[in-house]
Chains A and B, each alone.
Chain A
Amino acid sequence: MLRHVTALGGVALDGLRGVGEVAILFFQCLAWLARGLPYKREVVEQFYFIGVQSLPVILTTGAFTGAVLAYTSYNQFVALGVESWTGAIVAKAQVWQLGPVLVGLMLAGRVGCSITAEIGTMNVTEQIDALSTMGTDPVRYLVLPRVIASFFMTPVLTIFAMMIGIIAGLGMTVFVLGAEWHFQWVEISEWMVSYDYVQGLSKSLVFGVTISLICCRNGLKTTGGAEGVGKATTTANVASCIAILILNLVMSIFLFYAQPLWDRVADIIAYAVSEAMSVLIGWWNLAA
């Protein structure tokens, strides 16, 4: 019994240590960013790898998820006589939860594993030490470009996943299940508000940075040759997926309570924009 408790304590301590190291890595990235931009070539490569090359798998995931959700929901809603809600439900689910979470999980698999395996292999073959000896900080050269690319590309990929999911859901509802297009679109327009997109995209920003930091940290901590790289890659993937699920819950609760604040901010922004427009139009009329 004591042995199991000790083992459990060890796992918990390792987890806490990992969280601390990821946080340190994050602040190291911020410190390098404050000193200047990272290596341009590396950043461009990572944008291409994380963003462009992930697009096919993200589009496939988004499309099939939207279609299956529409198919399942429609058959339930028909019984309740509210089949016109199908498109709106699919849109809400895609934007709130499925888009950011599925993109996060897919990126943890496709991009995260690759990051850990690449940096881990560099570590066990002394390439990271070689970088350091040439006066190049591994955090600046390897971690920062990946974190920046993840920060920008994860929301972009999430937007694609949301769009394709909604389109696929509508396609399934209208063309396969024979629902009326007009009513689906009206419900979507009524249900969706700006805060839905704020929720989905803010989650994807956090997920992207978290995945890249966890996977880079695991790569930099890799020891023990090929077996070590394999273990580090698996651990990074599992840790990234668990982190996404936990963060999704925490952020969902936080963002739910933050909605009134956003509504106020949105009102202020809308007011400021309308005032600015009035001034501009007034100025334009005066000049004319």
Chain B
Amino acid sequence: MAEGLSDPARAGGTFPGGEAEVISLKNVHKSFGSGDRRISPLAGVSLAVARGGKLVIIGPSGTGKSVMLRLILGLLEPDGGEILVFGRRLSSLDGYELQEIRKRMAMLFQGGALFDSMTVGENVAFPMRAMGERDEERIRVVVSERLRQVGLPDTGDKMPSELSGGMRKRAALARSLACRPEIILYDEPTTGLDPITSDAIADLINDTHASLADIRVTSIAVTHDMRVASKVADRVLMLYGGRIVGDGPPEMFRRLGEGAPAPGASEEDRMIRQFVRGEAEGPIRTVA
């Protein structure tokens, strides 16, 4: 079995060295559909994420990576198990309390999810206004600063439809950063982008993490892109078949993907190897 595989005992409490955890999933189950069409992307997943870490979740399509992010945000409810964010059990919160928790988090959606009836500047200002900021001068300064931070200094008056895919993701990231969140979730941040733009987005994620180091921001990214995972992560987690099949530093995944398969390697190691190398043949079943 892959080293560092998620230990349920770690899911809840503190990490070695006293690192407080900001997110904890305990034996989480989630299914969709019914009867023959029932699929279970998460079947008993336990996980703890330390404050200030950069976790990247990898795995084939349809393995519940994005579902996990939605569960953490409380956009979906688990069928079983429990999820704690900032030490609060999400299932015990009412709508108002959940909103307050969400205000400390931000998510970069796959397509950006910019509000297409607003300009880019209004989009970036939106979370500030939603949190009660009334000083328009301060909003203007922050919007300008965040857009400059993501490399889009002169786009405040543009509509989202006028931006390219990469620019839209940058603008969405600027919106996510507007209120200096303590947790940032990235859902497939580089999907649909060319390799150069993907690399630039990976750099941007690292820069963003560094810029919020004073509040010890926690970043969690979901991706298929191993290059991005290697560049961004200090911890990588692989999901397949509703469970975690690998959890460790990026070097571990790189090592398992290199060279000939080790004799007597576990099925999890062979899965990681297959995914990292991008091979169709192996224990991971794909639908062509």
Chain A residues with CB under 8 Å of chain B are: 118, 121-122, 125-127, 129-130, 132-137
How far is B110's CA from A126's CA once the two chains are assembled, in angstroms?
9
CB <8 Å contact, B130 and A133? no
CB <8 Å contact, B102 and A130? no
Chain B residues lying within 8 Å of A118, measured Cβ to Cβ, are: 117
Given contacts A122-B115, A126-B109, A136-B99, 9 further A-B contacts (CB under 8 A): A126-B113, A129-B75, A132-B102, A133-B75, A133-B105, A133-B107, A134-B127, A135-B99, A135-B130
How far is B118's CA from A136's CA once the two chains are assembled, in angstroms?
16
Q: Is B111 an interface residue (CB 8 A)?
A: yes
How far is B102's CA from A116's CA once the two chains are assembled, in angstroms?
26
Q: Binding site of A, secondary structure by majority: helix, strand, loop or mixed?
A: helix
CB <8 Å contact, B106 and A133? yes
How far is B116's CA from A26's CA once the two chains are assembled, in angstroms?
27
CB <8 Å contact, A127 and B126? no
CB <8 Å contact, B73 and A135? no
How far is B130's CA from A126's CA once the two chains are assembled, in angstroms?
18
Contact with A along B112-145 (1 / 0, CB 8 A): 0111110000000011001100000000000000
By beta carbon, the residue of chain A nearest B172 is A130
Q: Choose one: B75, B103, B117; the contact of A134 (CB below 8 Å).
A: B103
How many residues on chain B are close to A (CB under 8 Å)?
Answer: 23
Quote the shortest CB–CB distance from B12 to chain A (angstroms): 24
Q: Is B162 an interface residue (CB 8 A)?
A: no
Q: Choose one: A122, A127, A132, A136; the contact of B73 (CB below 8 Å).
A: A132
How far is B111's CA from A121's CA once the two chains are assembled, in angstroms?
13
Q: Choose one: B109, B110, B116, B130; the contact of A136 (CB below 8 Å).
A: B130
Chain B residues lying within 8 Å of A122, measured Cβ to Cβ, are: 115
Nearest 8 Cβ contacts at the A-B interface: A135-B103, A130-B113, A126-B113, A134-B127, A135-B99, A126-B109, A136-B130, A133-B107
CB <8 Å contact, B75 and A130? no
Quote the shortest CB–CB distance from B70 to chain A (angstroms): 8
Chain B residues lying within 8 Å of A125, measured Cβ to Cβ, are: 111, 113, 116
CB <8 Å contact, A126 and B103? no
By beta carbon, the residue of chain B nearest A130 is B113
Q: Is B100 an interface residue (CB 8 A)?
A: yes
Chain A residues lying within 8 Å of B99, measured Cβ to Cβ, are: 135-137
By beta carbon, the residue of chain B nearest A118 is B117
CB <8 Å contact, A129 and B109? yes
Chain A residues lying within 8 Å of B110, measured Cβ to Cβ, are: 126
How far is B100's CA from A132's CA once the two chains are assembled, in angstroms?
11
| 26 CB-based A-B contacts, threshold 8 Å | A121-B116, A122-B115, A125-B111, A125-B113, A125-B116, A126-B109, A126-B113, A127-B116, A129-B70, A130-B115, A132-B73, A132-B102, A133-B73, A133-B75, A133-B102, A133-B107, A134-B102, A134-B106, A134-B127, A135-B99, A135-B102, A135-B127, A135-B130, A136-B99, A137-B95, A137-B99
